[in-house]
Amino acid sequence: MNRLLQIFNVVLVYLLLAVPLSAELTRFEITDREPFADGHKFDTVGEYERIKGRVYYELDPDLPQNQNVVDLKLAPRNQRGRVELSADLLILAPKDLSKGNGALLYDVNNRGNLTALRMINLGSSGNDPKTLKQAGDGFLMKHGFTFVSSGWDGELLPGSSRLSLVPPTIEQPLTGKVRCEIVPTKDTPRTVVNWAAHGSYRPTAKGLEQATLTHRLRAGHPRVPIPRAEWKLHVTEVEGGAPAQLPKVELEYPAGLKKQEIYELIYEAQDPTVMGTGFTAVRDLVSALKQGSGDGNPLLVAGKPVIQRAHSFGVSQSGRFLREMMYWGFNEDEAGRQVFEGVIPHVSGSGMGSFNHRFAQPTRHAGQHDHHDYPPDRFPFSYSTQTDPLSGLTEGILTRAAASGTAPLVMHTQSSSEYWNRSGSLTHTDPLGTTDVALPENVRIYIIGGTQHGPSRYTTEKGDGQTAPNPADYKPFLRALLLALDQWAKDGTTPPASVYPKISQGTLVSWTQNATGFPPIPGIRYPAVIQQPAYLDFGPRWQTERIVDLQPPLPRGDYRVLVPRSGPDGNELGCLSAPEVAVPVATYTSWRLRDENGPAANQLYSLSGSMIPFPLTKAEREQQGDPRPSLEERYGTLETYLQQLAAQCQAYEQSGYLLPADRERILETQRERVAPLFDQIKEKANTTKTEQGH
């Protein structure tokens, strides 16, 4: 009997070892594997390969690590009782994998579009990188990173090589109200109800018949119904789409939808997709590449994995994705292991997203003039655990991850524009903006002062705004911080200190002009509006089941946002200012207003900042009544300006915020931009001398 029991135990152990307890990523399907950038050699790392294909997953809905995927248990299962999904895959890896640095950088693409090659490599755009131009200066490759991106967003339509996810769709009869806020960028009689290149949930017959459409000029105005007979909905199935593909839904309003005015469509929809599997798709792909699992894994050497550390970089929407991924505890894989060692949520503000609830719409965000009453800006805002005085909840972004021992190292980076446009202060204050919040030991925050959400090209053209957009560049900081993050994860090297404005230091204040001390610059209107989130009541099932019953939701009180205090020139204090802002030739604001005579007059130009040039000479300043010293008074010559800029760059290098290799590029860029200004100063001085000589 004992002998039989021993044999049984041996067989049981063998079966447990031979058959994985969790399926996770089942296989890689590689469709293309070719030299990247025509076989260019990136320093000592050498050539890179471009690897494309698909990945296939199976999820066990009963595993503890999958319990937070909303509606996963309602999804159809295969014969093994698992839920299936698949996603597009892109990898750029050293041809000789042994020459890599052991670190993977996962680019959480933004609406299917790659970001890290533009932001960190300074490359050209495109979702199917092949050329040296798309590799930019090869920063990631020269340092030996393996670049990975994959589909995670289940509402994308095919096209432009966007990386998309095919999530499971719930086949049982299930309906719910879907709300689509539409703010046209031009006058038009017809438009998609979601963003371009995004599908929308399929309306039911009742939904088509009883859908409602309202109109308002500003978010705070009453919603005015538009009679149902005056507009139509068109539902178009996507040719060649996956079985779970959402259709394209369009609104036709012959009377005309007006530019920058707010329309709100609400209809009953059916067939929700399990959008929360976007988190598990990223989790299980990165885990498989680290652990060497998955049939056909392309990152193995002699059958063993080469990836020792994994980091993730997400911009805006995809930065919010990373914050919510951590919030739900998805940095723990199905076997309880940590997925990402480090994450950089960039320009995410204080938000999360519409990523993991029934009828979720991942593209939706929150803004001052457009996109209101969606779930992105909701408690918790901070990485620290707090109690929300409005909802009564007690939690933080990292609460679940800390409990499971899988919390990553976090470098939260954002432009100062996020304070005005994305409630950025709530990442490091209490919900009512009364006190600073202590950061966890594994978190750093870097606020890059005088920058907007995405740097503008250098221009004096105002477009639809009252001022020119802000060209100040934060990208050099991202490069230095990524290397610091990798060293922090690799050997515990302490990264550069956090830099952000604080209430306790008087550098984080109320957003009014009196409080910020922003100077009275002639011809410049200071904002009378800001994006500030409310505690939204989505109905009785929201907190427990993530089901929305109230459309639109009901506001139950406001959170309070703050902004950086201004210095005498209008440039912000308490921030890690971009070099050209620290040694300025203009006031670089975090805000920009729309044309006072156009649509959405005097509202925030979403996610944008301003560049307001200094007067050139003392005489010009006095004539205009401008309180800001002129370029002539500040620097006198181009050489003096460049000397001060070089000294500022060197100070940043010594503190670890900037790499020496980026200094010359910054100096050359600024030389090209400001040399014409100093030429004008010389011309004015020569003209004055000539006039005085006569």
pLDDT exceeds cutoff 70 at 17: no
For CA atoms 236, 241, 246, 251, give the dihedral sign. Answer: negative
User: Is pLDDT of 14 > 50?
Assistant: no
Q: What share of the chain is helix, strand, coil (3-state, %, to 5)?
A: 25, 25, 50
pLDDT in tens, 183-204: 999 999 999 999 999 999 999 9
Please state, as a whole number, how many other Cβ atoms lie within 10 Å of the Cβ of residue 298: 16
* Distance, CA of 563 to CA of 345 (rounded, Å): 20
Residue ranges per structural domain of the chain:
24-168+273-307, 175-270
Query: What pLDDT score was predicted for residue 503?
Result: 98
Give me the pLDDT at residue 245, please. Answer: 85
Task: Quick: pLDDT tens for 658-689.
Answer: 999 999 999 999 999 999 999 999 998 777 66
Q: Per-residue pLDDT averaged across 355-370, rounded? A: 97
Mean pLDDT of 485-514: 98
- Does residue 691 register a pLDDT over 80? no
Q: What angle do CA 108, 113, 115 make, to 5 degrees?
A: 60
Q: Under a CB-based contact definition with an 8 Å cutoff, are residues 635 and 399 in contact?
A: no
Whether residue 130 has pLDDT greater than 70:
yes
Q: How far apart are CA 225 and CA 212, in angstroms?
A: 7
pLDDT at 1 over 80: no
Angle at 186 between CA 180 and CA 188, to 5 degrees: 75
CA 514 to the chain's CA centroid: 31
Q: Residue 693's pLDDT band (boundaries 50, 70, 90)?
A: low
Which tops the pLDDT comparison, 37 or 245? Answer: 37
Percent of the chain whose predicted confidence (pLDDT) is above 70: 95
Tokens of 505: 């230091």
- Which pLDDT does position 672 carry in this prediction? 97
Mind listing the pLDDT tens digit for each residue in 312-339?
999 999 999 999 999 999 999 999 999 9
Q: Tens of pLDDT along 567-624?
A: 999 999 999 999 999 999 999 999 999 999 989 999 999 999 999 999 999 999 999 9
pLDDT tens digits for 240-279? 666 668 999 999 999 999 999 999 999 999 999 999 999 9
Instruction: Report percent pLDDT > 90 for the chain.
Output: 93
* Mean pLDDT, rounded, for 38-43: 97
**Mean pLDDT of the residues in the chain:** 94
- pLDDT value of residue 242: 65
pLDDT digits (tens, 9 = 90+) for 60-110: 999 999 999 999 999 999 999 999 999 999 999 999 999 999 999 999 999
- C-alpha to C-alpha distance for 562 and 138, rounded to whole angstroms: 38
Q: pLDDT band for position 239 (50/70/90)?
A: confident
pTM of the model: 0.95
